[in-house]
Structure 1
């Protein structure tokens, strides 16, 4: 009897605490004055539903909510989203202004040691400063021959298909190309995935499947925590192939790190030309950095750093190339205009730093990057000062609710604007889902570039932007100039953004961009 009374008391207390918590979140929370659905303010299960039950749909649901509630809404009990590109600089401030990332969102990546997964502003700056020399434009220019070598190999693979008159999966080839470039750029060990198309297709598929677990990681971190706590002999058979690929990458990075340390201890010098950084690999640069404490040079931390750099450096440029080539081939007039501009180039090889000065070519890249959407997940920033949000002239007509009303955002609040919101703002980008490079030309085009978020914005802007630009320019010029290609069994659904799993994913079952090619 006493046990039953205790159980009843516990249940009653639980109900009272739940009700009290709900009342607080709805009426007494620091964000209670922010519009939005009550369910989102009450519980994280609202987000879980659209992340997992309706997989990868919350960014699209948020866009619908803005039409109902206005340009600023509460999307979880402690987070707000602002559908107003006029507020981007306040959220994604420069590195001189402290902005932390939101740790809850970083759980999805499972690599806390990576520079992109650093929540703390100061930790991020130290990690980034150690890597910046290796990713500088100067070093990318020095290592341009490495990229060109891979571009030539890519052309050889396409040429082989052209001779045999067989279809080409550009998505697989772009994935392999980007993976090889970023791996060979960063590390002393060399990768050659581009030499094996079947392997490239397998690894790309594995990587896509691994991304599907990202929202599980964020909301139910105890599941991967439990699996990682098991002995590898037990957990390995349960791991998806993409995770096994990442473990293999960890092993390669570990081997390289050990080799660097042993070389330093033995006094051996590298036989390779070392370029402007004076380092053979990015890890030699990090290990020799005097501003990093020993804790930042731990093996596990550096393995995670390497894994995140490779994943980001593969997925982002490969996806942009998919978008660019699909739309070039689906819009012959755009391709003709691009070829007309490229026909003015001399026959001798030209550095990508010269190619990026071509206005229409640059406009094609800006539009491709815009519709690739970069990191599509909410990437909230936390300000340590109170912010005041007043809707700007960029607020779209579909979000007139609350126009002109100001809102005080308390310090410590996670705030975000998704790339979907920014890149489809109809005031800045009329007909936002239409691939139109002309929108980036002239003074208006230059003005639009401040709203480009494919590589992030502010002090956390993508570290590898110069490397990615070099890849995009060199690949596009080489393929457009050498091959006549036509889409093969490929429609817009193969590239259309319909699922958010950190990056833009197309429909389930998409095979990627496939083409037939012939040499010009």
Structure 2
């Protein structure tokens, strides 16, 4: 063997040994630091969770959104506060929820930078890491989504609900099976599309209720454990030519269609503003992005790319979260004739003028049984099932005898709040009656489907309006009579945490016929 080849072999052999040794030493030091010297070393929890985030990845990717249930097991074993990753704590104590999720006047709340990393929406108001940046980006949106702001949208939401019912009525007597879960995503997307882009996406009227958008959302949700564990993936995909991506996965065409539609609306709105400097001629009420362009935000926050990502967040989250709750409540109304009759009896005084007049949001909120159905639906559909990580950047958080240092991520889950048997007896049973008698202050206080504090859900008021207007219109006296088709509770009950909760992944959906 030539001398050069022998020397190369020796160098490679020693290089490999050096790499192995350095890697082993680094791993040993990292493990020792996380177990014994980390600021979180004093907190209880399984050692494997303290050492590596791969434990969470295993449960969320290979066991398909299972880590939230594993965290519950940790709390059952270790107590109300546990270390669930090398950098995160979880607290299960419903009475502490409002102490962690506070307003900005109490303390600043940062987002944990590891939360939802890799999904390429870091510049949106929702995922802005620092409290101050989040506040700056969110504040101009708050008037638009306030109670007074969404009241201006009420006629539009009502019209979408009526159009939805007309579409359902078109199936009456056809014996055709409808995916009601697809239909509700279409309804929610039409509402959010009108708010964001001043035009309906008209998914309600598409033959399959815009199933492509439904599939895009669910495929994206299923990918979250992978892209959060490997945040470089999206960056790599972004540099691959679209033609290749479409060949690999044709479903991406639908995603890009909505992204490009959002981008074009924002480009057009910016150009119109430049051409018509008189603000009174520039409609701000109908489009959230026209509203933003007049908000006084710095130009860096008004770039086309950033606002396009905001639009994608609005359209995605606004479509799927409201639809999941509508699925949940509708199933129980259809499955329980007593619920349906009671709701219709309650609606009789308000629905006499349908379709010329719809009852107002305020009138609907006063109906006790409808309100109870919605509260119970929100309780068991959870809103966001995943822990919502909160970071106090400059103050310690005190929980009982524990002092949590500044900069540490602390998460609490609506799932654990809403299924605590000390607050809600028989917690996994859908029982709207619990909201009609013997309602305790704790029941109301611990119902947190939209979170609380400075980072609560911006679209809460709009979501409530959609729920009240849609359910009252669909299930009104004389409305379309829906019958379940080969659907049971396993198709509805939340079984997987992909941030948004999903039912059994083998489910064929909420299937109904209009009879």
* Whole-angstrom CA distance in 2 between matches of 1:176 and 1:455: 22
Contact 2:397 2:404 (C-alpha < 8 Å) held by counterparts: yes
In structure 2, what is the equivalent of residue 342 of structure 1? 347
Shift of the alpha carbon at 1:77? 0.6
Q: Pick one of 289, 295, 305 that aligns with 1:289.
A: 295
**Alignment of 1:465 onto 2:460:** yes
Rounded Cα–Cα distance in structure 2 between residues aligned with 1:168 and 1:46? 39
Given candidates 197, 203, 215, the residue that maps to 1:193 is 203
- The Cα of 1:211 is off from its aligned counterpart by 1.1
Look up the match of 1:317: 322
1:344 is displaced (CA, Å) by 4.0
Match of 2:311 in 1: 306
Q: For the residues of structure 2 that align with 1:22 and 1:317, how far apart are their CA atoms? A: 42
Deviation sequence 1:84-141 (CA, Å, 0-9, x none): 1111122211132201111111215321222212111111111111112221222322
CA RMSD, 1 decimal:
2.1
Q: Which residue of the other structure, out of 142, 153, 156, is the alignment partner of 1:146?
A: 156
How far apart, CA to CA, are the structure 2 residues paired with 1:269 and 1:159? 45
Q: Secondary structure, in 3 states, of the residue corresponding to 2:410? A: strand
Is residue 2:12 matched to residue 1:17? no
- Alignment partners' CA distance in 1, 2:37 and 2:280: 65
d(CA) in 2 for partners of 1:203 and 1:6? 50
The answer to whether the aligner puts 1:123 opposite 2:133 as a matched pair is yes
Residues 271 and 389 of structure 1, relative CA distance in 2, 3 Å threshold? closer
Alignment equivalent of 2:482, drawn from 485, 493, 497: 485
Of the three residues 43, 50, 55, the one matched with 1:41 is: 50
Q: Which moved more, 1:490-499 or 1:476-485?
A: 476-485
Aligned-pair CA distance for 1:440: 2.1
Contact 2:111–2:128 at 8 Å: present in 1 too?
yes
Secondary structure at the residue paired with 2:332?
A: helix
Q: Where does residue 363 of structure 1 map in the other structure? A: 372
**Residues 360-509 of structure 1 correspond to what in structure 2 (within 5 A)?**
360-384=369-393, 385-390=395-400, 406-442=401-437, 444-445=439-440, 447-481=442-476, 482-509=479-506
Give CA deviations for 1:462-502 in whole Å, capped at 9, x if unaligned. Answer: 11111111111111111111133221111111112111112
TM-score (norm 2): 0.92
> Secondary structure, in 3 states, of the residue corresponding to 1:114?
coil
Q: CA deviation at 1:269?
A: 7.4
Distance verdict in 2 for CA 1:358–1:273, change over 3 Å: farther
Instruction: Tell me, in whole angstroms, the C-alpha distance in 1 between the residues paired with 2:497 and 2:253.
Output: 23
Cα contact 1:136–1:466 (8 A) shared by 2: yes
- 3-state DSSP class of the match of 1:250? helix
Does the 8 A contact of 2:421 with 2:427 survive in 1? yes
Check conservation: 1:487, 1:515, Cα contact below 8 A.
Answer: yes
1:153-192 alignment runs, 5 A limit? 153-192=163-202
2:56–2:67 Cα contact (<8 Å) kept: yes
CA displacement at 1:428 relative to structure 2: 0.8
Deviation at 1:7, TM superposition (A): 4.1
User: Residues 514 and 2 from structure 1, CA distance in 2 versus in 1: closer, same or farther, beyond 3 angstroms?
Assistant: closer
Residue 174 of structure 2 contacts residue 514 of structure 2 at CA under 8 Å; is this kept in 1?
A: no
Alignment TM-score, normalising by the size of structure 1: 0.91
Alpha carbons of structure 1 residues 300 and 181: separation in structure 2 relative to 1, 3 Å: same
> Would you say the 8 A contact 2:212–2:254 is kept in 1?
no
Task: Tell me if the contact between 1:440 and 1:446 (Cα under 8 Å) persists in the aligned partners.
Answer: no
Contact residue 171 and residue 514 of structure 2 kept, 8 A: yes
SS of the residue corresponding to residue 385 of structure 2 reads coil
Structure 1 unaligned segments of length 5 or more: list them: 391-405
Do the aligned partners of residues 90 and 55 (structure 1) sit closer, same or farther apart at CA in structure 2, a change above 3 Å counting?
same
Report if aligned partners of 1:321, 1:472 keep a CA contact under 8 Å in 2.
yes
Deviations 1:439-466 (A, max 9, x none): 2235625542221221122111111111
2:3 is aligned to none
Cα distance 1:432–1:296, how it changes in 2: closer, same or farther (>3 A)?
Answer: same
